[in-house]
Amino acid sequence: MAFELKDLPYSHDALESNGMSKETLEFHHDLHHKAYVDNGNKLIAGTEFESMTLEEIIVKSFVKGEVAQSGIFNNASQHWNHLQFWEMMSPEKHNIPSELSSEINENFGSLDKFKEEFCAAGVGQFGSGWVWLVKNQDSSLSITKTENGVNPLCYNQTALLGCDVWEHSYYIDFRNKRPVYLSNFIENLVNWENVASRL
């Protein structure tokens, strides 16, 4: 199935007052995400992957334990990751739905503890990658970090929340300050309704 660059679920300047600028979204969505879509389409053309869904391509092309993944995997997974990422943010502040709130308390002790661990994992990802809140097969929740384009689908987990910690995600707004970008993300950008809908 050909990859398609969908519009953002809000305008490019919608997250300005929440700490993510129009310029960041113009570069990040219109150029970086678009490049994954365009490159992915070139790479899957004429291969067995062409007829698969995006999720199938990711799972099929992922090689466990390999640091260097194929171009098909990297572009497909980064396309999927960004589709999730745009939806996981919102210009409106949401309260955390009660079911999600109790799951977080049960698994991490408190919301503050969860936020602290999530940000620390994102800061601790050496080089490019993602930090995730995932739901495991046994229904427990965990915080994970992944390198480059690797995502929870590769480990049979459900992605509830993900934050892009590639430099292109924060350098315009926060320069080298990844910790400030992450704490702003968790405090001001997360669409908690969307996160809860993934439970």
Residues that bind Mn ion (CB under 5 A): 164, 166
- Name the residue nearer to Mn ion (CB basis): 103 or 164: 164
Q: Are 41 and 1 in contact (CB under 8 A)?
A: no
Closest CB 28 distance from Mn ion, rounded Å: 6
Q: How far is the CB of 166 from Mn ion (least distance, A)?
A: 5
In the complex, what is the shortest distance from the CB of residue 195 to Mn ion, in angstroms, rounded to a whole number?
A: 19
Residue 80, phi then psi, degrees to nearest 5 = -65, -45
Smallest distance from Mn ion to CB 198, Å: 19
140 Cα distance to chain centroid = 19
Nearer Cβ to Mn ion, position 5 or 111? 5
Which residues lie across from 159 on neighbouring strands? Answer: 134
Map residue 138 onto helix, strand or coil: coil
Residue nearest to Mn ion (CB): 164
The residue (of 77 and 194) whose beta carbon lies closer to Mn ion is 77
DSSP string, 2-52: ----PPPSS-TTTTGGGT--HHHHHHIIIIIIHHHHHHHHHHHTTSGGGGS
Looking at the Cβ atoms of 62 and 166, the one nearer to Mn ion is 166
